Each structure stands twice: as C-alpha cells, then as structure tokens.
C-alpha cells in the first residue's frame, strides 16, 4: 500500500469494520458536563476484570480481558471543546520555547498510521478493534496538540506526508516500545511541571487525560506483546525476538540522534546525555537532580498503573533500568521538591 496521509486520516477506512466511539459527556454550548467528565475520568483510571484466576498470556481469557479493559476505560473527551486558558506572557513564552511541539505532533501523526496499519493485519476481531481504537486515540492526541499550538500561536514546521509502513509489525513495535520509553519519562516531567506552578493549573488539567491515555496505550501494548509472543510457534518466536532486538537497537540509536538534534534552534546539544534532565529544567525554576527525576518517574509510573488489574502485564524494561540506576547511584534517594497536592489516581 503506497499511500501517503496528512490530515485526511480516516481510521474507519483503514481498518474495515471499525467504528469510531461515541464522544459523549457534552451538553449545550459545547461545554462538558462536569459530573459525566469526572465519572469518565475515574473509569479511565480504574479497571478490574471480573474473570476468575490468572490472566495467562496467550490465553483466550487474557486477550478478551485486555480488549475489554481498553474498551471500558475509554474517555469520551472531545478536543474541539477543550478549554485553553489565557496565559500570562511569561507562561506563554515558556510554552512556546519548549522544543518539543514539532516532534510531538509528528510523532502522533506517525503513531496513528502505524497502529492502524498493524490493526488491519490482525485477524482476531476484539484485538483488531482495540488496536484500531488505539490508533483513533492517537489521532485525537494529534488533534489536541494541533488545537493547542493554534490557540497559543506556536509555530510548527510543515508536516511531511505520513507514509504507509512497508512492514506493519515492525512499525507497530517501534511505536509501542517508543511509547513505553517516552511515557515513562513524560510521566515524571509532567509531574515536575505540575508541581512547579509555572503553568496554569487549568492547562495542566487539560492535558491530564492525555497523559493517562498514554498509560492505557502502553498497557495495551504490553498485553498485546505478551499475548502475541505466547501464540507464536518456536521458530516464529525466534524471528520475532530478533525483530524486537533490532527495534531496541533502532530506538536507542534514534534517541541518541534526537538528543543531539534538540538545542533550541536544532544545533547539537552540549548536554546530550542529560536530555531528559534538560526537559525538566524547561518546566521548573529549580530543576531536580537526575536521582530525583528518576525517582519521580518511577513513582508516577507506578501511580498511573496502580488502578488497573494487577493480573495484566505492565511495561517492565525502562522502569527496571531506572530502579537499577537508582540503586547504583551514590547517595540516598530523594523526592523531587514540590507540593503533594491531591491528583487523580
């Protein structure tokens, strides 16, 4: 399939049989019903299967409950009616100066297409539907970001057309593992931004459902991965694990290049190895140490996953590496300074 896409993304055409979900919880004048929004937000964060016994990877029950989790935790917010608060000049300047918006919009653009491409190859209807919904939600993330940058006058580089992937499984693996890596650090950085008070609480609250949705996405990916692996014959499993190893090598190399390319105007950074820490410096006046930031990433990762059935698989590689790094670092663990205000859990 040699197609290219930009704003003409139509998931129902790319995955036959998929129908976009209803986006309810909206009342007159394009405003959300607060009670309905609160209920949907709670349902998005908490889900426990009623099935008895373990959810063994590869089993029909594991697959069915994974897909049920994703359907039942869907949040029906609509980007078109999100409130974008008026920002003070200093806060607006900080938002505009963040060197992430081009990458963020384009990443969501690629993710939606890669997930749709792979979903179309899956024969099992409920898993195909869950992956297609994941693609639809990625497109919604892109719409949220596009509306935000338009609201605040953030300039973006022109988007190149998004190419249909030649190897749909490879593309889905790259996207899934990328989200596992990036979301782990994004959870911590988002909390640093929340605690800093440099951005209006209304803006932070507007993005909060998007952050939790990323948690759902990587929860789905981790359980699809466990289910898919368990269903493979031994020789297909060998080929698959070799592909996974190549994906990890590709992602490590890609992130080294990304860190080198982002330094305000795109010049090579002089602190390439501290790219995540530099991101923290952009959202707070008092940047945390590496230890503090890693501790917060682990804490936030655990908190966001805590509401989902413990029998479901979780992404483990990046959290395990972070915990290992914390054990090997000299000194005692420290918490990132900041308030401990109540937040969704």
In the numeric block, which tokens belong to residue 242?
Answer: 């070799």
d(CA 114, CA 167): 9
d(CA 88, CA 192): 20
* Per-residue model confidence (pLDDT) at position 60: 96
Residue pLDDT, tens place only, 188-232: 999 998 998 878 888 888 889 899 999 999 999 999 999 999 999
d(CA 277, CA 64): 39
* Per-residue model confidence (pLDDT) at position 99: 76
* Per-residue model confidence (pLDDT) at position 228: 97
* Per-residue model confidence (pLDDT) at position 311: 97
* Per-residue model confidence (pLDDT) at position 338: 43
Report the 10 Å Cβ neighbour count for 255: 15
Backbone angles phi, psi at 187, to 5 degrees: -60, -45
Is 140 in contact with 9 (CB distance < 8 Å)? Answer: no
d(CA 310, CA 318): 18
d(CA 201, CA 206): 9
Question: What residues of the chain score a pLDDT lower than 70?
Answer: 1-8, 23-33, 80-81, 257-283, 285, 331-343
> 204: closest CA among 219, 215, 189, 218?
189
Give CA separation, 136 vs 9, 30, 46, in Å: 9, 21, 21
Name the CA radius of gyration of the chain, rounded.
Answer: 20
* Per-residue model confidence (pLDDT) at position 309: 98
In the numeric block, which tokens belong to residue 101?
Answer: 């918006």
In total, the chain counts a number of residues equal to 345
> 172: closest CA among 100, 209, 210, 122?
122
> 77: closest CA among 106, 46, 37?
37
* Per-residue model confidence (pLDDT) at position 241: 98
Whole-prediction pTM value? 0.87
pLDDT above 70 coverage of the chain, percent: 82
């Amino acid at each position: 399939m040699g197609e290219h896409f930009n704003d003409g993304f139509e998931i129902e055409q790319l995955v036959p049989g998929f129908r976009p979900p209803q986006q309810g919880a909206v009342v007159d004048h394009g405003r959300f019903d607060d009670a309905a929004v609160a209920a949907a937000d709670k349902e998005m964060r908490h889900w426990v299967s009623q099935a008895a016994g373990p959810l063994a990877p590869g089993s029909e029950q594991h697959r069915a409950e994974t897909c049920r989790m994703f359907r039942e935790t869907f949040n029906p917010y609509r980007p078109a009616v999100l409130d974008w608060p008026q920002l003070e000049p200093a806060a607006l300047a900080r938002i505009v100066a963040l060197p992430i918006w081009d990458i963020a919009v384009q990443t969501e653009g690629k993710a939606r297409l890669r997930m749709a491409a792979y979903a179309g190859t899956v024969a099992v209807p409920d898993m195909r539907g869950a992956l297609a919904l994941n693609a639809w939600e990625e497109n919604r993330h892109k719409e949220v970001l596009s509306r935000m940058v338009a609201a605040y006058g953030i300039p973006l580089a022109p988007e190149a057309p998004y190419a249909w992937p030649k190897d749909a499984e490879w593309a889905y693996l790259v996207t899934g593992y990328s989200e596992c890596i990036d979301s782990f650090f994004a959870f911590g950085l988002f909390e640093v931004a929340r605690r800093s008070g440099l951005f209006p609480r209304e803006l932070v609250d507007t993005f909060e459902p998007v952050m939790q949705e990323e948690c759902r996405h990587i929860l789905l990916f981790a359980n699809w991965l466990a289910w898919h692996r368990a269903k493979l014959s031994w020789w297909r499993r060998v080929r698959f694990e070799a592909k996974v190893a190549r994906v990890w090598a590709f992602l490590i190399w890609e992130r080294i290049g990304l860190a080198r390319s982002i330094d305000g105007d795109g010049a090579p950074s002089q602190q390439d190895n501290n790219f995540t820490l530099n991101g923290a410096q952009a959202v707070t006046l008092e940047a945390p140490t590496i230890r503090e930031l890693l501790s917060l990433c682990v804490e936030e990762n655990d908190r966001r996953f805590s509401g989902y059935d413990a029998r479901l698989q979780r992404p483990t590689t990046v959290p395990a590496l972070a915990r290992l790094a914390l054990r090997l670092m000299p000194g005692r663990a420290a918490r990132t300074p900041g308030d401990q205000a109540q937040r969704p859990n």
